[in-house]
Amino acid sequence: MAELLKPDLYAQEGTKSVPKHPSLRGGKCAHCGFVFFPLQAYGCEVCGESGDSLQPFALAGSGTLIASAKVHAYTPDAKAAAADVKPLEAPFVIGTIKLDDGPTIRTVVIDVDETTLKRGQRMMSKLVPVGTGARTIVDLRFTPAS
């Protein structure tokens, strides 16, 4: 089984609504129902509740593209190279995606020519290999739905 680069942020397992795509580890406020990403314990952004009111909530790996941009210059994180992870190299595409379960995220978009991306396009989560050593390490990306 592959090792997740950021297991606190996503899971290999999907959700009931999108079982074939990785889920994101978000949270839901038990007091007001607000859904957020990533999971945190600082307090609900809507009602201010904290502690046990903030419960883990698996977010489906599906959503709608709000905006995208091609990144032409980027300095990789030195920490990633030390962890046997191939650094992200420019150019690459970043997308702002409104998840079906509520939150809006910014993430790397793959398997697409950026000139064909359209606002409102359906997007799906996907795990891609990023390891450089003997370990199989994967990271979460989004790609246009087929």
Count structural domains, the chain.
Answer: 1
Q: What is the pLDDT of residue 2?
A: 85
pLDDT at 43 over 70: yes
How far is it between the farthest Cα atoms of the chain? 46
Q: What is the pLDDT of residue 79?
A: 63
58 - beta bridge partners? 25
Q: Is 119 exposed, middle or buried (0-12, 13-18, 19+ CB in 10 A)?
A: exposed
Residue type, 62: S
**What's the average model confidence in pLDDT over 91-98?**
97
Q: 0.95 cut: is pTM over it?
A: no
pLDDT at 81 over 90: no
Tell me which residue range forms the domain holding 125.
3-144
Euclidean distance between CA atoms 73 and 45, whole angstroms = 33
User: pLDDT band for position 83 (50/70/90)?
Assistant: low
Which among 67, 72, 57, 5 has a CA at the least distance from the CA of 26? 57
Q: Cα–Cα distances in Å, from 38 out to 3, 27, 70, 113, 135?
A: 19, 7, 24, 28, 26
Whole-number percent of the chain with pLDDT over 90: 80
Q: What is the pLDDT of residue 133?
A: 79
